[in-house]
Structure 1
Amino acid sequence: MNLKLDHISNIKSNTLQITGSKSETNRLLILQSLYPQIEIENISNSDDSQLMQAALASKDEVVDIHHAGTAMRFLTAYFAVKKGRKTILTGSKRMQERPIKILVDALRQLGCEINYEKDEGFPPIKILGKDPITNKVSLAANVSSQYISALMLIASSLPEGLEIKLEGKVTSVPYIKMTLSLLKDVGISGSFENNVIRIKPVKVLSSKNIVVESDWSSASYFYSIVALSDNKSVTLGSYKKNSYQGDSSLADIYKKLGVETTFQNNEITLTKTSVSNQSEVLKLDLSNSPDIAQTIAVTCFGLGKGCYLTGLHTLKIKETDRLEALKTEIEKLGGEVVITENSLRLSPSVSITSDIAIDTYHDHRMAMAFAPLALRTALYINDADVVSKSYPDFWNDLKKLDFKVL
């Protein structure tokens, strides 16, 4: 499905309810499968979370998680310790190009039996569930935090728990802390000190009811919309000030881009203010929140403001190579972008080319990050229904703000 977004002069102030966090939901779904005493409210309606639920309920030997990267990582660990369960875990063509070796090697350290069906280091993988032979594992810390969280989520179900030693500088610390906080919320003890994570074993949990906070990554697109609007506001629910999600850093980041955040009654209201230091290049280290890099880069482009974003090395192995994709699409619109393996530099611009078709590369965040530019120019979004991966209601919610989605 390809969409046209007509140029609009401004948005309508409105209140929107955002779906539950995909990151929190998928962690809690693994824990619920290990401990049925857990009940979950405000579950994400994303494709990824639905695929996770289907995979956990499946009795089939072949489990296909399509484009769901989180599900691939978390389920690799989950099935690896399901004694006697044989599973072939596979996914889309792009998923079969995304590395899994570091996690597989870590699970093999524990004594798990995992073999590659095609290319070494990549899905699909064949898993024979086994009890671990040790409770200690080590892995590189500067890789996707999902590898680490995958191990943390199964740790309490192991007879002796698990000690995870992280080697080197840790990437995406907030996601590790999110996992640890959710474990504690359901009654599982754990610690994260001096690059060592320790999770204690638990056989049975007391009944728990957990409410998933709405998704901060999804909120980022409305920060961008308000930043590009003229004296308007948007209210989003349900959010909390002391969030587990690293992307809640949006509230501080977007102050520099002319958006004020007000917390009240489990809602956030985003209000347009003035951009501070328009001529100053926005410099950010996003190693703790790389998923909002696309949104920030496009916002800066729409504002005609330069930015220099670092800490982006994990974007190379997402649904697409997001750095290359950003460079290509922004330059189609008339921008100037320089990328490295870890960074993106956007030069200030004075104009935006109209009626450009944005390619999304099967990446939900590409579609949603570029949509706010309708406040600056008419554009097309190719393969627009890719947003269902994390935010199925996105286009309908834009219409509630008076976007012309055709």
Structure 2
Amino acid sequence: MLLNIQNTHTHLTGAIKITGSKSETNRLLLLQALFKGIAIENLSNSDDGMLMQKALLSDAETIDIHHAGTAMRFLTAYFAIQKGRKTILTGSKRMQERPIGILVDALRSLGAQIEYQKEEGYPPLCIQGTSLTKNEVTLKANVSSQYISALMLIGATLPEGLIITLEGKITSVPYINMTLQLLHQLDIIASFEGQSIKIQPAALGELSKTITVESDWSSASYYYSLVALMHKHKDSHPTEITISSYKKDSLQGDAVLAKIYTELGVTSHFENHALTLRLDAHKELPETLTLDLSNSPDIAQTIAVSCFGLGIACDLSGLHTLKIKETDRLEALKAEITKLGGDIEVTDKTLHLKTRITPIKENCTIATYHDHRMAMAFAPLGLFVPICIEDAGVVSKSYPDFWEDLKTLGFKQEIIH
């Protein structure tokens, strides 16, 4: 679906309900499958959440998780401990290009029986469920936190629990802490100190716990971007968007948005799990926004597009994991921002955007590369110029209601084909 969007309004106000965090949802769904008696409220309605739920309920031998990277990592660990069950875990063409060897090696070192169906180190996988005999594993600390979380989630089911030793600088710490806190909510004894994560064994009986999933902070990022971009509407009326449900003491690493966007003139106000974003029109914007996003790489696209729209430079680092997402997000950003008239350079782990001195090009078609975040990160530029989003339906991966919610904020939308 090719979608043309534009918003010519001089004001931006509204209230939007965003469903549960995809990251929290997928962790809790796995824990729910392992420990009976867990009820989950405000589940994510994303494709990834639905695929995770469907996979865990399926008794089929072949499980296809399409583009769902989190599901691939978590389910690899889950099916590895399903004693006596054989599972072929596969996904889309892009998923079969995304490495999983580090997790497979870690699980094998614990006693898992996993074989590659095609290329060594990549899905699809043939997993023969078995009892894991060891309780200690070591892996590099700068890998995707999903590998580490996958091991943490099954750790309490092992007879002697699990000790994970991390080597080197640890990245994406908030996602590890999120997994840790969710284990704590289920009264599982677990710790993360220095380079060591320890998970104590837990009984697999009835827990009788109800956990409410906080709304997704990654999805909130697009509204932070919209409010920040209203800086460039000199004749605009007050800007205020309320989104829910959010906590000031969030488990999600992307909650750092509230701090980051104060630099771009957005204030955050929490009240009764509602988060109200307001524009501080008098805020002086920085010439260059410099950030290390090692702990929150998923918001890099939103921030880069925000800075491009505002006409300011940005230097973003800590982005090495973006090379192996739904697409190579760094190269994708470079291609699409250049298309709009930007001057941008990327390496394998950094992004450097120069100050924009020319107008944004109108009616450009933004390629999304099967990546939901590309579609949503560029959409706010419709405040300035008409813009076309290719494969707009890709947002269903994490935020199916995105385009409808934009309509409530005055965005005109036309399906081209």
TM-score where L is the length of structure 1: 0.99
Give the corresponding residue for 2:399. 391
1:369-402 residue CA offsets vs partner (Å, 9 max, x unmatched): 0000001111100000000000000000000001
Report if the CA contact (8 A) 2:265-2:285 is conserved: no
Query: Per-residue deviation at 1:186?
Result: 1.2
Secondary structure of the corresponding residue to residue 121 of structure 1 = coil
Q: CA RMSD in A?
A: 1.0
Give the corresponding residue for 1:311. 318
Give the corresponding residue for 1:76. 76
Give the corresponding residue for 1:320. 327
* Aligned residue type for 1:361: Y
* Aligned residue type for 2:389: I
Pairing partner for 2:276 from 269, 276, 280: 269
Query: Per-residue deviation at 1:9?
Result: 3.7
1:325-348 residue CA offsets vs partner (Å, 9 max, x unmatched): 000000000000010111000001
1:206 to 2:214 alignment: no
1:226 to 2:234 alignment: no
* Aligned residue type for 2:60: D
Give the corresponding residue for 1:296. 303
Report if the CA contact (8 A) 1:11-1:403 is conserved: no
* Aligned residue type for 1:193: E
1:122-158 residue CA offsets vs partner (Å, 9 max, x unmatched): 0000000111121001111101000000000001011
CA distance, structure 2, for counterparts of residue 359 and residue 21 of structure 1? 25
* Aligned residue type for 1:260: T
Query: Per-residue deviation at 1:278?
Result: 3.1
Give the corresponding residue for 2:216. 215
Query: Per-residue deviation at 1:279?
Result: 5.0
Give the corresponding residue for 1:109. 109
Report if the CA contact (8 A) 1:256-1:275 is conserved: no
Report if the CA contact (8 A) 2:263-2:285 is conserved: no
Query: Per-residue deviation at 1:354?
Result: 0.6
Alignment of 1:6-405 (within 5 A): 6-203=6-203, 204-229=205-230, 230=236, 231-274=238-281, 276-278=283-285, 280-350=287-357, 351-405=359-413
Report if the CA contact (8 A) 1:163-1:197 is conserved: yes
Secondary structure of the corresponding residue to residue 405 of structure 1 = strand
State the identity as a percent.
63
Query: Per-residue deviation at 1:228?
Result: 1.1
1:270-329 residue CA offsets vs partner (Å, 9 max, x unmatched): 001137443521000000000000000000000001000000000000000000000000
Secondary structure of the corresponding residue to residue 248 of structure 2 = coil
* Aligned residue type for 1:383: D
Greater CA deviation, 199-208 or 214-223? 199-208
Secondary structure of the corresponding residue to residue 241 of structure 1 = coil
Query: Per-residue deviation at 1:194?
Result: 1.5
1:49-102 residue CA offsets vs partner (Å, 9 max, x unmatched): 000000000100000000000000000000001111100000000000000000
Distance 1:108 1:262, change over 3 A: same
CA distance, structure 2, for counterparts of residue 133 and residue 10 of structure 1? 63
1:213-236 residue CA offsets vs partner (Å, 9 max, x unmatched): 000000000000111124311000
CA distance, structure 2, for counterparts of residue 11 and residue 99 of structure 1? 45
1:187-246 residue CA offsets vs partner (Å, 9 max, x unmatched): 111000121000011112531000000000000000001111243110000000000000
CA distance, structure 1, for counterparts of residue 67 and residue 88 of structure 2? 16
Secondary structure of the corresponding residue to residue 83 of structure 1 = coil
Distance 1:177 1:136, change over 3 A: same
Report if the CA contact (8 A) 1:45-1:392 is conserved: yes
CA distance, structure 1, for counterparts of residue 319 and residue 11 of structure 2? 31
CA distance, structure 2, for counterparts of residue 376 and residue 279 of structure 1? 20
Report if the CA contact (8 A) 1:12-1:400 is conserved: no
* Aligned residue type for 1:213: E
* Aligned residue type for 1:290: P
CA distance, structure 1, for counterparts of residue 105 and residue 286 of structure 2? 47
* Aligned residue type for 2:343: E
Report if the CA contact (8 A) 1:7-1:376 is conserved: yes
CA distance, structure 2, for counterparts of residue 41 and residue 157 of structure 1? 24
* Aligned residue type for 1:240: K
Query: Per-residue deviation at 1:14?
Result: 0.8
CA distance, structure 2, for counterparts of residue 213 and residue 395 of structure 1? 21
* Aligned residue type for 1:219: A
Secondary structure of the corresponding residue to residue 164 of structure 1 = strand
